[in-house]
Structure 1
Amino acid sequence: MTALVLTIQVALPLALLLWLWLLPAGSGIGLVLQVAGTGAFLFALARVAQWALPVWWLPHLYGLLWLAAAAAALRRGGPLLPASAAGWSAVALGLLLLGIGGIYGARAVSGRAAPPVEVVDIANPFGPGRYLVGHGGSDPLVNGHMRTLDAAVDRFRPWRGQSYAVDFFGLGRFGLRATGWRPADPAAYAIFGADLRAPCAGTVVAAEGDRPDFTVPQEDPVNRLGNHVILRCGAAEIVLAHMRQGSLRVAPGDVVAVGDPLGQVGNSGASTEPHLHIHAQRPAAPGAPPISGEPLGLRIDGRFLVRGDRLAGAEP
């Protein structure tokens, strides 16, 4: 996992930037395609990849470096068409990068549109802090939860209600999600222990708070929600999962108002590192698994959040 992240999100962008800076194409068409291709690819990577690892602001730095390298490259003169095989290779690579970046970048941007289902509006569920969306949006490229929409896969049916879920990481000092690269101690993560508040007025229909918080990357794939709260707010249910052991402040049957304390973020259930999972669904059928209801979209503070978006927690 670490090697893959370093390769795709650090080594590859730096290699493309160095190619543009140190080896600009020798022809006009080559330069244009080299600049456009590297820009499109970096844009798509910024939108598609999860930037909790290594850090959320790294794509912005890549963008500044690309602007500087592109400006330097485009100042160079040369013939319109390449005069050598190496020149045509640069054209081909630029076209390839432009195609890949265009396709994946367009898909990531399209994921910002609300899904073709009812969308539920809720308030900010966080207390003070800064948070980064790891999964969110209406395209599987930016929201891995959407794979559970596939009704042909039997094992997804008990979880189908979470198909448009949003996952949040915390942002700590320097925008880092944790102290260290991937520490085992869940308390080293910025979101661990973050206060959670009721994002809607309703009734607590389920609450569990005694399951353990695992060391990273252990998880419980059977009790997937871990410690959790399910709120019935009108015709929808809001599910908050992976909460901290012993932190719950509510019990089934409690009536809550917007902003009432619910508990804290933890690392219980099917969570390989501390994060908040939140989704909206219709109530599950009687006797069915609790998150098997019809999935609904979710807007938080009026925003349909997508991978890479940031959210500031509410003040006290």
Structure 2
Amino acid sequence: MAATLKDVALAAGVSIKTVSNVINDYEHIRPDTKQRVMDAISDLGYSPNLSARSLRSGRTGVIGLAVPELSLSYFAELADSTIKAAERRGLKVLIEQTGGDRSRELEILSGPRLQMTDGLLFSPLGMSNEDAEYLNVNFPLVLLGERIFGGPTDHVTMSNVESAQAATAHLLSRGRRRIAVIGAHEGEVIGSAGLRLRGYRQALEEAGVPFDPRLLGYTTLWHRSNGATSMREMLASGVEFDAVFGLNDTLALGAMRVMQEAGRRIPEDVAVIGFDDLDEGRYSLPTLSTIDPGRDEIADTAVRVLQERISGSAGDVPPREFEARFQVIERESSAPSP
């Protein structure tokens, strides 16, 4: 038997009126109360009546954002940019974490919480191009990230290859020729690591600098600790390098710490550039050069495109792909030699 409003109220330990207020996105609800109600809705598989929430439009005014991990600074800052972009359009954002787990990502695409939203911004990490068919859903969906290309839905992404090429060219312009990479993924072609590595290799080729596979530092997750571990392994290997390209800022910051502990001066001995333009890179010692991948533009475009699909103003336009503009941000970690 389908769960009722009363069932949700009992499970959450609140009144039926409170459940109704949460479903209708009433703003004066305590966050912990709202979370209990949302958890009860999810656990019971309750499907709210959209038309009851808004007799005029049948919409909730809420969009979903599913990301791998908010403990990764990039996704936390992306969520912040998305919330601001949604607020400018009178929308609220419901955030889900998938942990980058494929089964969890597939569950998000059919879970009961979708009933509480008008559409979904979806950034998968565990899924791949072979899973594109699962994006063929019956609700507005905009894909983010670099795991799936050419799917059946609108897609907002960043210029991974071109921006990584520009990051490498920046280090080359500083006279560096032994450029290590931190964050490579073994065998990856499609995905942030694979695409950024392609840009790195293209820059080397254009500059006539031989590619040396010993300069690739492999990791799994792109956490600071992984960047530190990868750099320790590279230093222990004895391979010579005079620059480091961290495939994200977090990896670069972890690698910088290990190099400084080992007595390597930045940028005198090793020039460093990251990727993502995280806020913490502005305050590291030295400040971190990086790639601004257009995070605010990605969030604004994604919310706008999703709203077009929700309202129907996009009509029957086929799936579209949007690529944000990027910028090289030069800071102390790659300052030119005196």
TM-score range, shorter chain: under 0.3
TM-score by length of 1: 0.27
Higher relative contact order, structure no. (Cα contacts within 8 Å, ≥ 6 residues apart): 1
Q: Which structure features the higher share of strand residues? A: 1
